[in-house]
Structure 1
């Protein structure tokens, strides 16, 4: 016996759409923060390497 899940095709309400948009913005901001941290770590490592190479 199979049970099929019923999925509604109703469009989201404006409130639901706003929440989805905000959640998306949060995820994007988290990704940007993560990328910036990686970039800063790489810059720091490159500076340390250049100091070691110049000595």
Structure 2
């Protein structure tokens, strides 16, 4: 694991801290890792769905 620094807005930092507080012993960095992992998983699934032709079609 590598250490990285990010420039976040105060509102983003507050949101991450709140998430960490709500999840008990989770650290802010654990929350950020989880958010990134979830986003990567969602992105990979969307790519897979697109490649398989399983896109949601809007009827509006």
Compute the TM-score of the two structures, normalised by the length of structure 2. Answer: 0.47
Kindly state the Cα deviation for residue 11 of structure 1 after the two structures are TM-superposed.
Answer: 2.0
Larger relative contact order (CA 8 Å, sep ≥ 6): 2
Calculate the aligned-residue CA RMSD, in Å.
Answer: 2.1
Number of matched pairs = 32
State the 4+ residue runs in structure 1 displaced beyond 2 angstroms.
none
* Structure 1 segments unaligned to the other structure (5+ residues): 1-9, 41-55
Compute the TM-score of the two structures, normalised by the length of structure 1. Answer: 0.51
Greater gyration radius: 1
Question: Do structure 1's residue 37 and structure 2's residue 51 form an aligned pair?
Answer: yes
